[in-house]
Amino acid sequence: MKKNKSEVISFKADDSLLEAMKAVPNRSEFIRNAILGALNSICPLCGGTGIMTPNQKSHWESFSADHSLEKCMDCNEIHLVCMRERNS
């Protein structure tokens, strides 16, 4: 039976981040949770890059012909609205 082995990942942090992290009791756990939370919120279209490829843009343009981006009146967040469902 193979046991899951942890791997160390390191990253550079500027002085202000280091200072802010000093108050965190378990920095490793905090960083793991922050990364997992961010990974759960990645844009499904661009994969978190913030940039669409030309093919993705073409698909988006086709999709957006029947969909719009609108601000939610309850939470003030932008979300997709299907115009076909709205007009039914």
Distance, CA of 66 to CA of 12 (rounded, Å): 44
pTM of the model: 0.58
Residue 82 has pLDDT above 90, yes or no: yes
1-40 pLDDT, tens per residue? Answer: 567 788 989 999 999 999 999 999 999 999 999 999 998 8
- Degrees to nearest 5, angle at CA 57 with 54 and 61: 140
**Both tokens assigned to 69:** 């981006």
Rounded to 5 degrees, φ, ψ at 85 are -65, -40
- Is residue 22 in some structural domain? yes
- Is residue 72 in some structural domain? yes
CA 20 to chain CA centroid, Å, is 23
How much is the pLDDT for 88? 65
Query: Does 36 share its domain with 59?
Result: no
Q: Domain range for residue 24?
A: 11-41
Give the mean pLDDT of 64-82: 93
Query: Does 80 share its domain with 58?
Result: yes
How much is the pLDDT for 84? 83
Q: Which of 27, 23, 24, 1 is nearest to 11 (CA)?
A: 27
**Both tokens assigned to 82:** 């299907």
Which one is predicted more confidently, 4 or 63? 63
Query: Does 33 share its domain with 63?
Result: no
